[in-house]
Amino acid sequence: MTEEKPPDDRNVRRKPALLTVHGANSDGVWQRELQILMTPHFDCHPYKYGGYEGKYGVVRAVIYPWSPVIALVIAILSVGIFKVGLVKLSWPLSLHAIALSFWAVAAVAGVVASGFLYSYMKRSATAEELRADVHVRALRRPHVIAHSFGSYLIGRTLDKFPDFRVENVVLVGAILPRSFPWSSILRERKSSIRKVRSECGLSDNVVRAIGLIRLFVRDVGTAGNRGFLEGADVHSVQGPMETCTRCTAENQAVVHNVRLRNFGHRDQFLTRNHARSLWLPFLWNLEVEEFISFVDDCDLAAQHHANGLYREAELLIDAIWERTYSWTGGRTLEAYVRSEIAARVKHLRWKPTAPLVSTLAEQVKFGLHNMVSDADREHFSQNNPLNERVARSLHPHIAIASYIEQIVGENEL
């Protein structure tokens, strides 16, 4: 009997990991929706934790819910004792009045402080559970998308555990302090994080309300509304598609506050279009505006072809082909595609002659836009799951590589 050999997975495509972390009082619907969109591109890991469900989940994140109630009862009872005359309240105060007032204030303060301490310890324990879960899943440098209290868990884990390392991070409605120590983390272990996109809802009243208790809960704050404090490692942009004008090729900030006008704390960011247009290019290290422009132009060229407007399609394709992008290394799209074709032909041990490269490049030129457009439409379809083979080509590099592979096969090279 021959022993079965394990499957050879050297040619199996390995997707980068994507960790999503919900906020308090969340049903996790946005994680499930996002997973449908992201699965063609990432190995998705929605993280779920307990203890913060229900309408008091947000309250439980900052203070034990019964603490204010108990404190209020103590205060009412103390006032009642004075009211019914069990202890007379007259000037000068008697020893009994002073003692009762002292113990009432101490009891109220103690109960409230205990409530804050309990929630702090629970927050810390939940962050430790997150780090342990990432370790168990063997996620090596995952990308992260975290909302609200989930952003706190990511920030706390980054700050506390030196071995916790991530790639690109999207924070939405972050309840971290504005003074969160990004610079210290990067100075001590620069490789722990690559980039952070913190989306700040300027109408986020939930995060704004966190500022009211900042005096008592120092490890939370209003970064998801007002932004992290700016510095060498933290810059801000005024719109979701803007490119930072302060960053240069030699000196780039790791963290960017992205201000979203009229965005509140829930739901607005959960649309497929938001994730496709803003989060995907960020996770892929592409400029958002460049990516959207490229995909929209490909969509329009495909529409022109479908409607028989061949001249308009040809002019638009020529414009796309002559344009330079950051993801092409500053070269024109044509130059980038030619270099990729030459590399693929060399890999097949053929000589990449100029006529051969030109012939293959011409085929890519008049078909690439359809592949990208089909991938874009797949992301807005109701398919569950998405057609991964089609959807993957939304990434410009993968679209080009896939189309080159296709024409290489068709030309029997």
Please state, in angstroms and rounded to a whole number, the distance separating the CA atoms of residues 35 and 385: 9
Mean pLDDT calculated for residue range 283-296: 96
Q: Fill in the amino acid letter for 281.
A: P
Query: What's residue 39's pLDDT?
Result: 95
Left (φ > 0), alpha (ψ -120 to 50) or beta: where does 401 sit?
A: alpha
What the block records as the tokens of 316 is 């638009």
384 — pLDDT class (breaks 50, 70, 90): confident
**Per-residue pLDDT reduced to its tens digit, 148-177:** 999 999 999 999 999 999 999 999 999 999
198: nearest Cα among 279, 270, 139: 279
Q: Say how far apart CA 386 and CA 272 lie, in whole Å.
A: 13
pLDDT of 365 above 80? yes
Of 53-62, 101-110, 133-142, 219-228, the poorest mean pLDDT is in 101-110
The two tokens of residue 299 are 């969509």
- Separation between Cα atoms, residue 288 and residue 183, nearest integer Å: 25
pLDDT of residue 66: 67
Q: What is the mean pLDDT of residues 231-250?
A: 92
What would the pLDDT profile of 38-66 be if each residue is shown by its tens digit?
Answer: 999 999 999 999 888 877 777 778 777 66
**What is the signed CA dihedral for 116, 118, 119, 123, rounded to 10 degrees?**
140
Would the pLDDT of 268 be above 70?
no
**Which residues touch 350 (CB under 8 Å, ≥6 apart)?**
356, 413
Residues facing residue 145 across a β-bridge: 20, 170
Average pLDDT over residues 191-203: 93
Residue 84 has pLDDT above 90, yes or no: no
Mean pLDDT of the chain: 86
pLDDT for 411 equals 75
Would you state the pLDDT for residue 118? 80
Q: How far apart are CA 28 and CA 47, in angstroms?
A: 9
- The angle formed by the CA atoms of residues 225, 230 and 232, to the nearest 5 degrees, is 150
Residue 407 tokens, joined:
């024409």
| pLDDT in the model for residue 326 | 93
Both tokens of residue 221?
A: 């704050």
pLDDT band at 1 (very low <50, low <70, confident <90, very high): very low
Residue 290 — pLDDT band, cuts 50, 70, 90?
A: very high
What six digits make up the tokens of 126? 């939940």
Confidence (pLDDT) at 4: 43
Confidence band, pLDDT 50/70/90 cuts, at residue 6: very low
Q: Which two tokens stand for residue 197?
A: 């996109």
3-state secondary structure the chain: CCCCCCCCCCCCCCCCEEEEECCCCCCCHHHHHHHHHHCCCCEEEEECCCCCCCCCHHHHCCCCCHHHHHHHHHHHHHHHHHHCCCCCCCCCCCHHHHHHHHHHHHHHHHHHHHHHHHHHHHHHHHHHHHHHHHHHCCCCCCEEEEECHHHHHHHHHHHHCCCCCCCEEEEECCCCCCCCCHHHHHHHCHHHCCEEEEEEECCCHHHHHHHHHCCCCCCCCCHHHHCCCCCCCEEEECCCCCCCCCCCCCCCCCEEEEEECCCCCCCHHHCHHHHHHHHHHHHCCCCHHHHHHHHHHHHHHHHHHHCCCHHHHHHHHHHHHHCECHHHCCCEHHHHHHHHHHHHHHHCCCCCCHHHHHHHHHHHHCCHHHHHHHHHHHHCCCCCCCCHHHHHHHCHHHHHHHHHHHHHHHCCC
290-328 b/e (C-beta count within 10 Å ≥ 16 → b): bbbebbebbbbbbebbeeeeeeebeebbeebbeeebebb
User: What's the first-to-final CA gap in the chain, in angstroms?
Assistant: 40
Q: What is the pLDDT of residues 339-350, one digit of tens each?
A: 999 999 988 888
Lowest-confidence segment of 75-89, 243-257, 345-359 by average pLDDT: 75-89
If we measure between CA atoms, which residue out of 112, 144, 118, 120 comes closest to residue 131? 144
Please say if the pLDDT value at position 320 is more than 70.
yes
Q: Report pLDDT for 102.
A: 57
Query: CB atoms < 10 A from the CB of 382, how many?
Result: 6
pLDDT value for 95: 57
Predicted local distance difference test score (pLDDT) of residue 115: 76
Contact 19, 49 (CB under 8 A): no
- Position 269 pLDDT exceeds 50: yes
What pLDDT shows up at residue 314? 95
Q: How far is CA 368 from CA 85, 228, 364, in A?
A: 87, 40, 5
Whether the pTM exceeds 0.85: the reply is yes
Of 37 and 119, the one with more pLDDT:
37
